[in-house]
Amino acid sequence: MPVFDFSAAPEDSRQPECTYTTFQSNEETATPEKPIMILDNTKRQWQHHVCGMFTNPVKRTSFEFQEEDGEFSADILKIDSRFVSLLKWLGENHINVRLSGQNRVDGYAVYKIREIGFGGGTKLSAEDGFLQFMIERLLASNAPAEEQVDEELEEMGDDMKLTSLQSITDFMNCAGRTLPDNIRLWARRNLAVARSHEVSPEERRHAQRALSIMMNIQWKNNYFEAIDPEEARRILDEELYGMERVKQRIIETIIQINRTHTLPAYGLLLVGPAGTGKSQIAYAVARILKLPWTTLDMSSINDPEQLTGSSRIYANAKPGIILEAFSMAGASNLVFIINELDKAASGKGNGNPSDVLLTLLDNLGFTDNYIECMVPTVGVYPIATANDKSQISAPLMSRFAVIDIPDYTPEEKKIIFSKFALPKVLGRMQLKPEECIVADEALDAIVARYADTTGIRDLEQAAEHIAANALYQIEVDHKQSVTFDGPMVRKLLD
């Protein structure tokens, strides 16, 4: 397929000759060994940095070098399939660029493209920063399944940092294949609305805002790389004490992902008393999966429209919390942490927010009323927390693998306080362990003081109080160290 636009060529001109082949690559960084493209160097060895532009299609698919002794042309031999549309667009607009490459046996391997301004050439919408954004986005994307050769390759949209329509148009022209098919077609329609003078300014503004939100998301497939189970176990041990059954269930999920390279069909529902570390488990899983995460607090949701967004027919319309979470994460693959799922009940507004969650959890796609486009959710891994699973509806429960989190025993609380909570606080206050010592009887007194409360939040607060008191005595009373016994702790915490 020729790389460049044919619109400027005379009608009687011959068809340009395509000199290159494409290759599939999923490399995230271009290097001389894994370049963006290969140029012919059999007639002339090119310098490390060379300037020029991609040629008019009445010639061959090549690059014209601006050398000190004149202009020279070299055929393009190979191109990373992700960059075909970008190079086509650079040629159409006669953008002057500087290539960085290395001469190899098979040709001049180009691994960097920078925009330069000379000779009155066209500048990009955000100058070189935009071009680098485009290249980084393409490198982060997956290789197209197959090379497509029709004009539909020019249909896509984005703005670099939610900026102008020109930036959106440029991104659509250069990287259309990085979007799912339905989003690419949706973007074309909304771009037409944003440009149209036959609709109201309000409609144009909403269309541009919707494009900005959707194009800011890196749309990825649902393929997951294998995860090291030993590293996953190390993270869990680092974040959580005990909870062997919970850790085992998470490791089983990791093994399943390694076998299928896809997320499990069911998310995790962590049920247990307050303060038992449910949210901490969710954050640890996100860290293990190496995915961005976002949280949704169901106790603050009073109306389903907060989740689904409002229609663009309203002047103050805006997308819902779920779509905004995708936008904030910047990627379609993320861990969605739903806090207090048992609070997602009807009766607080004009509908049931829990019904909206069902579409997100089914992995069939989620549609926001403002965006009006189905968002793929196959890369979303939901982790929900709840205190009372009896308050959760049966349809919601059926979407999760339930893990019950029991409260800690007194012995576990002692270990957590002495091995985790107190050392963490001492480190933050820059106190040495020998400057704040908690005797065994004091440790028993601390645990007994909070025997009627669940979780370890009270223990963490007690550690903070004790460490602060030790710091006060060291700084004000000039003590070398402070040892807390039972009576001291009882007096301090009562």
What does the pLDDT look like over 99-126, one tens digit per residue? 999 999 999 999 999 888 654 444 554 4
* Cβ–Cβ < 8 Å for 193, 199: yes
- pLDDT tens track for 60-78: 788 888 888 888 888 899 9
Phi–psi pair at 237, nearest 5 degrees: -65, -30
- The maximal CA–CA distance of the chain, rounded, in angstroms, is 100
- Find tokens 């607009």 and name the residue: 93
Please state, for a pLDDT cut of 90, what percent of the chain lies above it.
14
Which residues have C-beta within 8 Å of that of residue 287, sequence separation ≥ 6?
235
Our measurement of the distance from residue 126's CA atom to the centroid of its chain's CA atoms, rounded to an integer in Å, reads 23
Comparing CA positions, the residue from 123, 65, 58, 119 lying closest to residue 90 is: 123
Given the DSSP bridges, would you call strands 436-438 and 267-271 parallel, antiparallel or unpaired? unpaired
Above 90 in pLDDT, residue 95? Answer: no
Give bridge partners of residue 332 from the DSSP assignment.
none
* Length of the chain measured in residues: 494
Q: How far apart are CA 271 and CA 462, in angstroms?
A: 25
Say what the pLDDT of residue 14 is: 52
pLDDT in tens, 298-337: 887 878 888 888 888 888 888 988 888 888 888 888 888 9
Q: Please give the pLDDT value at position 104.
A: 92
- pTM value is 0.65
**Terminus-to-terminus CA distance in the chain, angstroms?**
79
Q: What is the pLDDT of residues 127-186, one digit of tens each?
A: 557 788 888 888 888 877 654 444 443 333 333 444 567 777 888 888 777 788 888 899
Domains of the chain and any CATH numbers: 1-143 (no CATH), 150-216 (no CATH), 229-404 (3.40.50.300), 410-493 (1.10.8.60)
